Every structure is written in structure tokens, then in C-alpha cells.
Amino acid sequence: MFADNPLRRKLDSGEFLHMVELVASARTTEEKLLEICSSLAGVDAVTAAGITSYAGGASGHDPVRTAVGAKERGLTPNIHLTCVYQDRRGIRETLEELDRLGIHNVFAITGDYPKDDTDAAVFDLDSVALVSMIDEMRAAGAPFSISVAVSPFKYTEPDCMYQYIKLEKKFAAGADFAITQLGYDARKFGELKRYLDERGIAKPVIGNVYVLSRRAAEIMSEGRPPGCWVSPELLERVTEEAGAEDRGRAARLERAARTVAVLRGLGYAGAYIGGTHNADQIRWIIQRGEELAPQWEACAEELVWSPQAAFYIHDSPKQPPKPLGLLHNVLTTAGKMFPVRTETVWRKLLRSASRWVHRRPRVEQVLEKVETAVKVPLFGCQACGNCVLGDMEFVCPQTCPKQIRNGPCGGTDNGRCEVIPEQACIWVGVYERAKAADELDDLKVFIPPPVRSLKGTVSWVNYFLDLDARPGHPKPGP
């Protein structure tokens, strides 16, 4: 199936590979971008290029056009496909176009919230739903290879654990391999690998190696773009290095090469090199990374730029769960006393009642008002009509600015939301309640995207009449 796909071939061979990130930003002209593609295609050890799609929520070149240009110049594209600006229909059309163009490596991500044109944000799907859609198209014959993102560089328990839980969901949905967010902490690279090994998950993971300039370090030290972070100590070191005659060039390339060596030693499938488009620099990093591979443990000891109070799964003391609130306990008890998830007498009764209501629009309108009167103040409900509160520890996914239903995006910042930093990421609450209820494994269940046409209707009726989308009951329609 993947015979003509160099990236798949290399992954299947088990040989360490190198991918380069091509940032298709508006600051670079299209002509220049294509020139870069030609020069990168000339680096034998580069297997593919990640073509970004409006990275950091900023404007940029059309990634499909850039990917076509890269392919024509002999550089295999791994195109970033986000859920930011298109609904599921638009995304499917883009995938069909990619299939026609013979571009089959897709990096499926939710995407950064747009910085300027916030009205254009769509977020109809999340990354797990996107993987599931691509997997369906693959089953129908389009030979897509699906990569996904994961960030081990999360230093609080909920942020970190949920990244890994979500990665498991992505793999279960059909992802073939993962690429990490950037970070400068060998223990975290090792933690991710160990997490997967301990669970027998043998999917390849490629580690991010970002060539860190002083300017980039300054920006990332403020947590920008979302999910990227550089510690004050590393910023200080990079600033010092930038005082050298070469403005820190040799030091940053050496740091990148050492990170490549660490990834090799830890058993990663490859390195995803970003922060430079310069073919000579990339060639040097790759070669030096290979030379340093036998000393990878010494290199790992230097790659330790973490915050002071950092969570590591295997080393941090176990924190007791926080107590569950009264509301959670009441709702859970009610769910046990009146079970409706299976074909019980309660379900049959409520189905009949829902049918009766559904045939009477006025009654249904009144019920809709009752539902919102209860659920808006309690859960921040936005009447999406596809209620999954019971699958999300009674946290409403519509309160996430990206409407994600399957776990946090990569932009969480120590439990704070990427889009609205004044508020906690909603998934912190989901994780903490699931931990307290001993239901962490339940978080691995895929929650399909909602049927958007049900917005403003009674979710209770939709549930009992099977009109909605929920775990185990996906619906194709928008």
C-alpha cells in the first residue's frame, strides 16, 4: 500500500530518519520557499519535509500548493492538516484533493487558534476525529499515512497525563506515527518512550529538534507559539551564546545535533528538525548527530531544561485525587439508580416519552428551555444537542474554545487555556474528576464530533431517539 511513499518506506525499514520542518509563513515568498524545497531535496539524509499550515495561528502560504511544489522538486511532503478553518466537509474535500495530487502523508492536528481572524475559526472536528476521518478514507482506498502530535513537555500531572491518553486515542483511531512538540528535556523524551513501551504500543515516534536562536528563545520563554516553552535558564544560556563572534550559530547547531543523538539513543524513529531551512546546517546537524550517537547518554545529561517543580510520571510522588464535588456524586448515583446506557426499562420508558415529545414541537420547545435552564448555569451548556457530559465527567466540551471532545490541545500552559489564559483548560477538570472516580481508562473512549444541525434542540430527546453523535454512536452528518 505504501510502496511509493518514501516516508512510509523509511519508517517501515526501522532506520532512523530525518524530517525537516518547512514553515510556509507569509514572511517568505513563494519563490523562496520553492528554492528551499529544491535545496532540501538535495540533502540525501532528509526523508521528508513537514509543511506547516498557518503555524502559530499566523497567516501563511496555502499548504497544499506548497506541498505540491515540494513534491515536484523531489521533496516528500508531510502536510499539516488542521481543523481551524474548515468544517468536516471542507476537510474531506481537501483530503480528496490531496489524494488526487498523490500527497498521502498527513500530519493531523487540531491547530492553533487564529491570532487575528478569530471569526474565521471553525473547529468542527478535533485531531482525533480528523484521524478517524482520514482512516475511513484510507479504508476506502486512499493510501494515507497519518502522523499526529504529542507533547511530552507538560509539567503538571493533568496536562502531561492527558497528552499521553490522547496519543493513545489517536493511535486507536488510526494514526501511524507521532511527532513531538519541541522541548529541551531529555527526561521528557525518555518518559514518552517509556510510557508507550510499558503499554506495548509499538508505533514510531519522531522527536522534535528545534535549532534555537536567541530571538526564538525569547519568544518561546513567553510561551509563544502555544505549547512551545523555553526555561529562563536556557534563555540565559542561549543569550550568552549569542554574544559569541558567530552569534551563537555553532552552539545552537551543536545543541540540535546532541538532541538528535539523544533521540537515536532513546530509540526514537527519527528527528524532526525545525528552526532552520538552511540545507548545509541541516546536513551538518544530521552528520554530527550520527557521530555523537555513541555518547547519547552524556548528551542527555546536558539536555535538562525543565521547570523547578516539574511532574514526571515515573519519578514524581503520587498525588492523592481531589475529592469529587456534590454535583458529580449526585449525578453519578442517579446514573447508577436509573441506568439508560443499555436497553433497560428506564431507557425504553424515556424513549417512548421522547417520541411523544418529538411529535409535539411546542412541548419540545418548552423542554428545550427547561434543559438549558438547568444545564447552562450548572455546566456552561451551549445547547449543542449532542450531550456527552456523562462521558466527560460532567464537563461540557463546548466550553473549550476549540470545542475539542477528545482531550486537550497542545497549547495548555500549566493547566491554563491557550486561548483564554485567565481560565483553566477544561481538561484539567475532566482528568481530576476521572482520577478521583478511578475512571482514567474511560478517558480513552473516542467521542465523535457532534451533529451540528441539532444545535438548539433537546439533547435528551436526541439521545433517546438516537439522533445524536456520542461514543459508540457516530453520525456522519454536519
Nearer residue to ligand SF4 within complex by CB, 134 or 395: 395
Could you tell me the smallest distance in angstroms from the CB atom of residue 266 to ligand SF4?
28
Nearer residue to ligand SF4 within complex by CB, 77 or 448: 448
Nearer residue to ligand SF4 within complex by CB, 149 or 400: 400
Nearer residue to ligand SF4 within complex by CB, 284 or 379: 379
Nearer residue to ligand SF4 within complex by CB, 270 or 411: 411
Could you tell me the smallest distance in angstroms from the CB atom of residue 180 to ligand SF4?
17
Footprint of ligand SF4 on this chain (CB under 6 A)?
400-402, 404, 408-409, 411-412, 417-419, 425-427
Could you tell me the smallest distance in angstroms from the CB atom of residue 417 to ligand SF4?
3
Nearer residue to ligand SF4 within complex by CB, 24 or 400: 400
Nearer residue to ligand SF4 within complex by CB, 34 or 58: 58
Residue 37: HSE in the Cβ half-sphere, 13 Å Cα cutoff? 25
Could you tell me the smallest distance in angstroms from the CB atom of residue 288 to ligand SF4?
36
Could you tell me the smallest distance in angstroms from the CB atom of residue 307 to ligand SF4?
18
How far apart are the C-alpha atoms of 281 and 261, rounded to whole Å? 16
Q: What is the DSSP string of 225-256?
A: STT----HHHHHHHHHHTTSTTTTHHHHHHHH
Scanning the structure block, which residue is given the C-alpha cell 456527552? 388
Beta strands in 173-287 (DSSP E): 177-180, 205-210, 270-274
Could you tell me the smallest distance in angstroms from the CB atom of residue 437 to ligand SF4?
20
The helix-helix angle for 186-198 and 249-266 (nearest 10°) equals 20
- Angstrom distances, CA of residue 158 to CA of 112, 225, 401: 20, 21, 18
Could you tell me the smallest distance in angstroms from the CB atom of residue 166 to ligand SF4?
10
How far apart are the C-alpha atoms of 19 and 272, rounded to whole Å? 5
Could you tell me the smallest distance in angstroms from the CB atom of residue 421 to ligand SF4?
9
How far apart are the C-alpha atoms of 454 and 469, rounded to whole Å? 10
Could you tell me the smallest distance in angstroms from the CB atom of residue 163 to ligand SF4?
11
Nearer residue to ligand SF4 within complex by CB, 385 or 429: 429
Could you tell me the smallest distance in angstroms from the CB atom of residue 415 to ligand SF4?
9
Nearer residue to ligand SF4 within complex by CB, 83 or 404: 404
Could you tell me the smallest distance in angstroms from the CB atom of residue 125 to ligand SF4?
14
Nearer residue to ligand SF4 within complex by CB, 204 or 408: 408
Nearer residue to ligand SF4 within complex by CB, 425 or 434: 425
Contact 127, 406 (CB under 8 A): yes
